[in-house]
Amino acid sequence: MRAILIAFLAMAVIAVAADLVLDYSGFATAETTTGSAVRN
C-alpha cells in the first residue's frame, strides 16, 4: 500500500514539474495552437 502511495505522489510531482518546464520553455497550449493571425 505504501509503495502505491509513493508512486502516485511521484507521478503527481513529475507531472507538475513537466508542466512547469514546458510552460516556461514555450510549449504552452495557448502558444502552440494559435496561429499568427490571432490577436492576443
Question: Cβ distance 31 to 25 under 8 Å?
Answer: no
Please state, in angstroms and rounded to a whole number, the distance separating the CA atoms of residues 21 and 37. 27
Is residue 4 pLDDT above 60, yes or no?
Answer: yes
Give the CA distances from residue 19 to residues 2, 3, 31, 40, in Å, rounded to whole numbers and listed in that order: 26, 24, 14, 22
Q: State residue 27's pLDDT score.
A: 73
Higher pLDDT, 6 or 24: 6
Residue 40 clears pLDDT 60, i.e. is over it: no
Give phi and psi for 26, each to the nearest 5.
100, 15
What is residue 30's predicted lDDT score, i.e. its pLDDT?
67
pLDDT tens digit sequence for 9-34: 999 999 999 989 988 887 766 666 66
Task: Quote the pTM value.
Answer: 0.62
